[in-house]
Amino acid sequence: MSYASAKRNYETQNFEVGSETVLRCSDCQQATVREDLGAYGAKCLGCFTAYCKAAPRYEIAKDYPRDHLAWAKRIMDKQRRGDPVSTYASKLALEALGNKHGL
């Protein structure tokens, strides 16, 4: 692709309104001001909001307050419940807890 054809493609897809450059959203191709695309990761506000809603939510666990081995105890609790736990995670938890915690 030559520079001239790339410039033509850019100019057909993007335009200027007053002093602001308007570009296309990377998801829905809606015309969006360049500043908004820069703020929302090349997405319009609607696509960015949908992206954020799709992100998984994690709650802060409060089952072992002020315990520096809480992460290992949670892994062992998961394993006892029958939830899937990787062998590496369970190995690290067992090493961290050792025999002193009755495991």
What is the per-residue pLDDT across 17-59, written as a single tens digit (0 to 9) for each? 666 778 888 889 888 888 888 899 989 999 999 998 887 777 7
For position 74, what pLDDT does the model report? Answer: 92
Report the distance separating Cα 36 and Cα 40, nearest Å. 6
Number of H helices, E strands in the chain: 5, 3
Half-sphere exposure of 87 (CA within 13 A, CB side): 0
Measured distance CA(100)–CA(87) in Å, rounded: 21
pTM (two decimals): 0.46
**Calpha distance 22→101 (Å, rounded):** 61
pLDDT digits (tens, 9 = 90+) for 4-28: 777 666 666 666 666 677 888 888 9
Rounded mean pLDDT, 62-70 = 89
Instruction: Give the whole-angstrom CA distance, residue 8 versus residue 43.
Output: 23
First-to-last C-alpha distance (Å) of the chain: 65
